[in-house]
Chain A
């Protein structure tokens, strides 16, 4: 049996021994020295120990039983004082041990800045469990700590101390945090996140002196004169390979102990690995290359050919809630290009650095789910030219069209918002599922997703199905039509979540089964797109039902009816004369409607642009009697004339109609304002009705007087006309944004589980009300245009006439 001595029980040597015992069990008689009075533990998990999220016992990697099993002689807590290479012995404090092979894994020492006062009581480095324990002891809630160093270790220390209740300030010499791993933008987000959790951060700050009193730490003084009082000062400014022992033994050293690709030092019987080595000019501080070295060292010992090749490394910060990832080289440079994705609201930042067709660096903050995938691309030097356009969205977005209805949901990135009401992303839902929430109800309870308006419950169920696989039986939701498996709710949410802004985009991304939809889905998609993206999407007349395309109501004989707006049901003799003349000129049947307007029936299509021009000339505009949009606002005469009237119901009705006309809605939308509870304007069976009372206005919604008869339900009672208008606009906009196409408000309200959620959105939450109004106004800037005026032109006259008249030729 050969004698192997290992100096240092760190992560690298621990891993090496594992490989060795696996490859050559019983071949080596191992003695393991460690200056720390303990064996191998997972040093990179010290941060959770510091913060209290883990205990030491949880991070031990090799316990006594393991050393026993493999016959390792442990000499823990014993320093090695020298190596005699001629005699091939290691000299410990307690005596010598002979070796055939020696492995030096002494690791690194924390770098202590030789500031005046660095030896004061209360100044500690952050390196091992003893340091950690000293910090835990010092971390009384309310006590103050300063951490010098805004790198990985320093920030983890700062976060841990903060979690233990200390007031923490991080002092960093560079302009942004973690400058070796992060660029400025990500550094900024990280700083903001730390500040949010109560950690003060001073960048570009030079420490000058550590101040003490009676040998005890008092404050850190910066070179600008600032004094930061503290009870604990942690130095985490970097590490130095621990080379003293090797150097004394006459091994070649530079910054570290020099090794070849087989991990031999300058003495072929002595190997070295870990943070203490220097290979090809590089030294190492992260765990991944150490593990690679451990494997090579074990193979060298067993006589297997092997070669250490340094690889790109990636970094994740172990501070709960600060998700960052960095890998490769992300400095700017000639021939390098960036792909950047930012979502300021959610604090997400992703940047890829490309050189030619390869990714060479990645920095991510806030959403690091795809980090390992990008890391793989960097490591493998993958040619990304084919997927460059969607690269930043991660692996889920690659791979072309989705046919599986679940594929669209499966492809959503973790940060795609599923529940708009509560701002819940897919990632949170997946996390909740993985934590045991395996039903829609459980997801609602744990994440709030679909707990408000409920329109995303279909999507939540799909996330459940995608995540749980066969363990979850998807309830069958009714798809929009045979072109798709998605119900309306899913399509609406996905249009928003995936930012789909055209019909082809929707059909492609959501796996439509037909090339261009059908008469059922196309009008719905056209509506959803124009409602969600009023500025980006262009209305498609060919996806509209005939009435909305021709801006008149088709009748059973193929003629049309034309109805001008009469604001609040008011008209004038001049308007009536113009209507009468038009009726005679185009041979119309005249009918007074239930919505307090006049309908001209029997107009031929080719006459439409002409009658519109005539009515426009008299100051009248389209009444939109044919639209899924605002129809009429019916009123009574109110205080103007009526002896019972309590408010100016006519005036308010006109104001509402002038504010809301022209907007497209999921289905038609009818309103009324009545001047007193006698309700002459029949406001309590409308989609939105206002009943005036002495003290103000009662707004109620969700009425119906069609195939179903339904009384409205109270939405709000307010004192001023302005509030009536604001709440009406907000209600209409919420309906526009969240209802299924062809659901009247009463149906939509029922699907949201009652008025409670809607009241919260448009009545109680004033900010949200204002936001709804703002979005409505953006839409109105595009859509509040008189379609008659736009179409009473020679071009439309031509387009709406027959293409050719063959009646004469046929007669020949």
Chain B
């Protein structure tokens, strides 16, 4: 694993998200009400909506385009919808957000 510092936890609003640009497209970095953080691809598998702009509730996010709901923990679509969003390892250390670049790189290699 190779951890890359992408910013401070405080840069993300509580119950909100920011994006990071990668070669493979944008990754949404979420912060929930209980200060947990998650990184998922910023593309809804339904019609490509930016998940980073969705409403965050519990450990879930609702896509702003057509209200699909995804688990931030697993990236799985909830309820009747079927779909999977890629997830990335993310951790907080001393208030800094660290993302595992190996998976990003692996993806870009694939």
Contact = CB atoms under 8 A, between A and B. Distances in A.
Contact of B33 (A515, A518, A803, A804): A515
A550 B53 contact: yes
Contacts of B11: 799, 803
Interface in B1-58: 4, 6-7, 11-16, 18-24, 26, 29, 33-34, 47-50, 53-58
A516 to B, nearest CB: 5
Interface of B is mostly: mixed
A interface, size bucket: 20 to 34
A372 B15 CA distance: 46
A804 B21 CA distance: 6
B22 A546 contact: no
A289 interface: no
B54 A558 contact: no
Given A556-B65, A803-B29, A810 B22 contact: yes
Contacts of A1: none
Interface in A534-550: 541-546, 549-550
B105 A810 contact: yes
B69 interface: yes
B19 A803 contact: yes
A517 B6 contact: no
Nearest to A540: B15
A550 B64 CA distance: 12
Given A522-B55, A542-B13, A542-B56, A807 B69 contact: no
A542 B54 contact: no
B16 A542 contact: yes
A574 interface: no
A523 B54 CA distance: 12
Contacts of A544: 55
B27 to A, nearest CB: 8
B101 interface: yes
B68 to A, nearest CB: 10
Contacts of A556: 47-48, 65
A542 B14 contact: yes
Contacts of A543: 15, 55
B50 A558 contact: yes
Nearest to B63: A519
Given A558-B50, A806-B4, A542 B58 contact: no
Given A542-B15, A542-B16, A556-B47, A806 B53 contact: no
A519 B4 contact: no
A809 B57 CA distance: 32
Given A803-B12, A804-B6, A810 B24 contact: yes
Interface in A701-741: none
A809 B55 contact: no
A681 to B, nearest CB: 32
A65 interface: no
B interface, size bucket: 35 or more
Contacts of A522: 55, 57
B6 to A, nearest CB: 4
Interface string A491-524: 0000000000000000000000011111100110
A807 B101 contact: no
Contacts of A545: 55, 64
Contact of A554 (B24, B53, B69, B105): B53
A804 B60 CA distance: 23
A802 interface: yes
Contact of A515 (B49, B53, B55, B58): B58
A806 B5 CA distance: 10
Contact of A519 (B19, B29, B69): B69
A805 interface: yes
Contacts of B22: 806-807, 810
A805 B22 CA distance: 6
Contact of B7 (A549, A804, A809): A804
A542 B55 CA distance: 6
A811 B24 CA distance: 10
Given A519-B69, A810-B104, A554 B64 contact: yes
Interface in B50-80: 50, 53-58, 60, 62, 64-65, 67, 69
A236 B49 CA distance: 81
Nearest to B105: A810
Given A554-B65, A806-B21, A516 B58 contact: yes
The listed residue with most B CB atoms (<10 A of its CB), out of A517, A545, A803, is A803
Contacts of A557: 48
A558 B49 contact: yes
Nearest to A518: B57
A554 B6 CA distance: 26
A803 B7 contact: yes
Nearest to B7: A803
B65 A803 contact: no
Contacts of A541: 13, 16
Contacts of B14: 542
Contacts of B16: 541-542
A519 B15 CA distance: 11
Given A516-B58, A542-B55, A804 B50 contact: no
Interface string A306-323: 000000000000000000
B34 to A, nearest CB: 8
A555 to B, nearest CB: 9
A806 B104 contact: yes
7 contacts: A517-B57, A519-B62, A522-B55, A545-B55, A799-B11, A804-B6, A806-B4
Closest 4 pairs (CB-CB, A-B): A519-B62, A810-B23, A803-B18, A519-B55
Given A522-B57, A546-B53, 10 more contacts: A516-B57, A516-B58, A519-B55, A550-B53, A558-B48, A799-B18, A803-B29, A804-B4, A806-B4, A810-B104
